[in-house]
Every structure is written in C-alpha cells, then in structure tokens.
Structure 1
Amino acid sequence: MTTIAYEVKNNVAVLTIQSPPANALSSGLLDDLGNRLDEIENDNTAKAVVLNGEGKFFSAGADIKEFTALQSDSDYESLSEKGHQLFERIEHFKIPVIAAIHGAALGGGLELAMACHIRIAGENAKLGLPELTLGIIPGFAGTQRLPGYVGTAKAYEMILTGQPITGKEAKESGLANQVVQDEEVFEKSHELAQSIAGKSRLSVEAVMGLIPYAKSEQFAKGVQEEAKAFAKVFGTEDASEGIQAFIEKRKPNFRDK
C-alpha cells in the first residue's frame, strides 16, 4: 500500500502523505514520493503540485524507530544522502511544488517542506528542527536550507534549542510564504496552485529552471558535510540515549559522548 495518495484535477496534482499517526518519513515513504514524482513527470498533465498531509499533521518528522534499526555509520550516511537526493529533486522539479502545512512540520517534515518551492502554513502550525533534543542532528539538508530562509542567527536558535515556531512566526521570519487560518491551509494552497496552473507551461518551466541558479555552490558542499556529520553523531552514546528517551517519552540524560 502506497503512503502517498495522488490525484490530478484541473492541471493541479495533489500529493497526500498517508502514514498515520504522525506521517513520519520512512524509507518506504520517501520511495513512494519519488515514484509519485515520476508519475507526475510522465503524465505531463499537472502544471502545479500541492503536497499535504492527512490527519493532524503535515509531517511530524522522520521515522525515528526505523533509524534505530540501522547498524553502521555508512547506513546512516546512506539514509541521509537518500533524503538529500529526493529533496534536491523536489527543489529542482520542473513543476512548482507547494507545501500545505497544517498541524506540524518537524524534523524531516520541515526539511521536506523547505525543499518545496512555496510554503503555506496554518497560523498555529508548529515548524521546527528538534533533532538536538534527541542527541542527533538534522540529516535531510535542514542545516543548509533553513539559514537561507530565516538567516543564520535564527537558524542557530531554532536548531540549537530544538524549539519550533508557529506558522505566524514562520511567515514573519521568511520560512513561510503565507500564513492562513488552520482550516484554510489546503484551500489556499490549492487556490495558489490553480493560479500557477493557469500560466503557460513553457514560461513556468523556464522560471523553475532559472531560480535555482541563485543558490550558492557552497550548498552542495554543505549537504555532503551534513551527511557525514549525521552519520558520526548518530553513532554516539548520546544519540542512543536521546532516541531511547524519545521512544520512552522521558527526558534524556546526555553524557556528551
């Protein structure tokens, strides 16, 4: 059973994450998302994409329990690189992708949303990278994309504290394009997608190919270094303690090793 529902109507493709209860990003879900992108490209009907989550959240993070099954640094680095490649594909997709964020976009969920071209957030949605509270670090380019939206100072604050911000704060900091009432997130995202879908495909695809040139070449280097650091940190005792504490819903006892 696929974890990503897909439909196209009036030249707008809607991708819905269906992985209850938290829409956690497992390896299987990432594979399904990649397959759906293939379908959109092959179908050639959609001129805009809305990505949203079913239930209470857009996505509350990566599948932490799946991470605990990995055995070595190379496994962790491969997982990080897999996320990087998929999210890089989204960022360079020839069709604009709008993230409709309700409830929460945390950890890998926010990293996915940041790879999208436009973000519409509910005013009370929670957006953040809480990995350090688990003794690990963002692994899907969160350390590289977030500063580009909110600036380095705010990125340090958000990542080092692990504290999420609201949709309203995300708009004020540049992380969200628009903030709307929570119950209107999908509707407003779809309206924006319809506006884009009314444009010429040729002109839209030209713009989609040009804007990425504005990104510094340092980004690619930073992503590589993040994958290495993700693997290194994930192999520590503190990471094991942090993840176990998360699973057991208790405060971790970090020993700095």
Structure 2
Amino acid sequence: MAYETILVDIADGIATVTLNRPEVLNALNGQVFNELGDVALELGADPSVQAVIITGGDKVFAAGADIKQMANLSAVDAAIGGRPSHRAFSLIETIPKPVIASIAGFALGGGCELTLVCDVRIAADSAQFGLPEIKLGILPGAGGTQRLPRLIGAGKAKELIFSGDFINADEALRVGLVNKVVPADQLREETLKMAKRFAARGAVALRLAKSAIDEGLRMDLEAGIQYEHKCFSLLFATVDQKEGMRAFIEKRPPDFKGQ
C-alpha cells in the first residue's frame, strides 16, 4: 500500500515505520492516524515481519497533534475527529509482534501518546517528552490519561499531565517512561539491535507472551494467571517449542519457524 505521511521499510524481518512530515515536526493529523492504522494492520498480517520499529527519524519523533486543524472544532467535531487516533493507537497496540518506539527530539502530546502504545521505548539522549495539552485548555485525548498512569504510576502521570511540563530522556528513564537511553548518534543502531534480538525468538511464543501481558493487565491477578497458563500450554503444540527445547538440550542455537 502507498502512504503519503509515513515511510515503510522492511528488511531482514524488521519493519521500520517513519513519520514523514518534517516540515511540521511530524505533527499528527487525521491522515497520519489513518495511515498508521492501515500500516499496523498490514504489518500485523505480514508473516515476513517479526518486529516493528516506529520512529520520526533522527531529529524529532512527533511534536503533537496539528493544532491548526483542531483550533476551531466543536465538541461534536472533536468527538468525531478523535476516532482515527483511537483506531490507529489500538491497532498499533495490538500488533501481534514486538513494537519498539525509537525516539529522538520531541515526543509531545499525541507524539508522546504514540510512544505509549509501543511495547518498548528507546530514546536518544536528545529526547524530550511531554503532554502539554493542559496549557491549551484541553487534556490528552488519545489514551494518555489511561496509558501513562498504567506505565509510570498515577502520581507521576498526574504531575506531568497537570503541569504540561516536559521531561528529558534521563528523567523519562528514571520514572519508567522509556526502557533505555542512548547517545543520539547510536539510536538507529541500538534500536535495530534490540529489534533483531526480539525477532530472533520464536514468533508464536512472542505473540502469546505479548497477549498474556496485555490481556492480563486488564484482568484481576487470578484471571491473568489462568490466561497465562492457557497461553503457556498452547505453546507445547508448536513446532518452535519442540525445536527450542531440543536445541537447548543439544547445546546449539534454535532454528525457529514461527509455527
């Protein structure tokens, strides 16, 4: 599928999706959200893709929503206009493969919310994060008030959302917003290294591990444990489980088939 606001590259089982609106600091609008949702469906169904990277490039991740597009919306318009972002973020969040956000420069507003729907976040030391919507008289409307507290805790999330202030990469690492911070000139290399490490694992086990974590977080502990056990048991019907354990016993690297 052809896209206008994003670039898609697939190589060696790794799909890289790059936001491509540099003239507006990768500001997110309806078209971007529609294309992100479509590419999430495409990559999720592509058996050649084992992991996905989402990035804005070397200078900026995404500096939020396109405020000019939002300024004169009515309440009804805002309700309707929010649907593409909710669709896109839900589809990215449920890609049945590891999704890594590779973040340089600003990740603000909707850009910060986009990082939250990824499984893992790796940031350049140049990165800055923030949800500044409160300074515009609104609140984060693409899942930020729900996903951020689940990731870093309610108290810190409320501080960031109530103030609208930015935090740098080191603070983001300290509070658990990102998994790793690297020098800016190493961001691409380190992100690709992480993606390849994930992609080398068994695809079926990865899919079910992600499902066990994400679905389990929506359940009480006992229900989550039961769901995990179901996922665990199902893996013993796979080719990869047999290969993985045989390779361990034979002291050799496994040759996973994704089956």
TM-score bracket, normalised by the shorter chain, equals: 0.7 to 0.9
Residues 1:128 and 2:130 aligned together: yes
Distance, in Å, in 2 between the alignment partners of 1:91 and 1:41 is 10
Aligned to 2:227: none
* Stretches of structure 2 lacking an aligned partner (at least 5 in a row): 221-259
The 5-angstrom pairing of residues 216-255 of structure 1 reads 216=218
Output the TM-score relative to the length of structure 2.
Answer: 0.79
Q: Is the 1:97–1:116 Cα contact (8 Å) retained in structure 2?
A: yes
Distance, in Å, in 1 between the alignment partners of 2:45 and 2:92 is 15
Q: Give the partner amino acid of 2:60.
A: F
Moved more, 72-81 or 176-185: 72-81
Q: 1:54 aligns with which of 53, 57, 68?
A: 57
The 5-angstrom pairing of residues 1-257 of structure 1 reads 2-21=4-23, 22-54=25-57, 56-70=59-73, 72-216=74-218
C-alpha displacement of 1:55 = 5.2
Partner of 2:81, secondary structure, is: helix
C-alpha displacement of 1:41 = 2.9
Alignment RMSD:
1.6
Q: Percent identity?
A: 37
Distance, in Å, in 2 between the alignment partners of 1:178 and 1:144 is 22
Q: Is the 2:20–2:56 Cα contact (8 Å) retained in structure 1?
A: yes
Partner of 1:56, secondary structure, is: coil
Distance, in Å, in 1 between the alignment partners of 2:92 and 2:104 is 20
Q: Is the 2:26–2:61 Cα contact (8 Å) retained in structure 1?
A: yes
Greater relative contact order structure (CA < 8 Å, 6+ sep): 1
Q: Give the partner amino acid of 1:124.
A: S
Distance, in Å, in 2 between the alignment partners of 1:109 and 1:212 is 21
* Stretches of structure 1 lacking an aligned partner (at least 5 in a row): 219-257
Distance, in Å, in 1 between the alignment partners of 2:146 and 2:215 is 16
C-alpha displacement of 1:79 = 2.3
Distance, in Å, in 2 between the alignment partners of 1:42 and 1:31 is 17
Distance 1:213 1:38, change over 3 A: closer
Deviations 1:129-178 (A, max 9, x none): 01111111111010111111221111111111111111111111010011
Kindly tell me the number of residue pairs found equivalent between the two proteins. Answer: 217
Distance, in Å, in 1 between the alignment partners of 2:143 and 2:204 is 30
Distance, in Å, in 1 between the alignment partners of 2:4 and 2:169 is 29
C-alpha displacement of 1:73 = 1.4
C-alpha displacement of 1:33 = 1.0
Distance, in Å, in 2 between the alignment partners of 1:55 and 1:29 is 19
Distance, in Å, in 2 between the alignment partners of 1:116 and 1:202 is 19
Distance, in Å, in 2 between the alignment partners of 1:146 and 1:41 is 24
Deviations 1:82-123 (A, max 9, x none): 322321221121011100010010000000000111000112
Q: Give the partner amino acid of 1:40.
A: L
Q: Is the 1:12–1:48 Cα contact (8 Å) retained in structure 2?
A: yes
Distance, in Å, in 1 between the alignment partners of 2:5 and 2:86 is 19
Q: Give the partner amino acid of 2:168.
A: T
Partner of 2:161, secondary structure, is: helix
Q: Give the partner amino acid of 1:189.
A: T
Aligned to 1:233: none
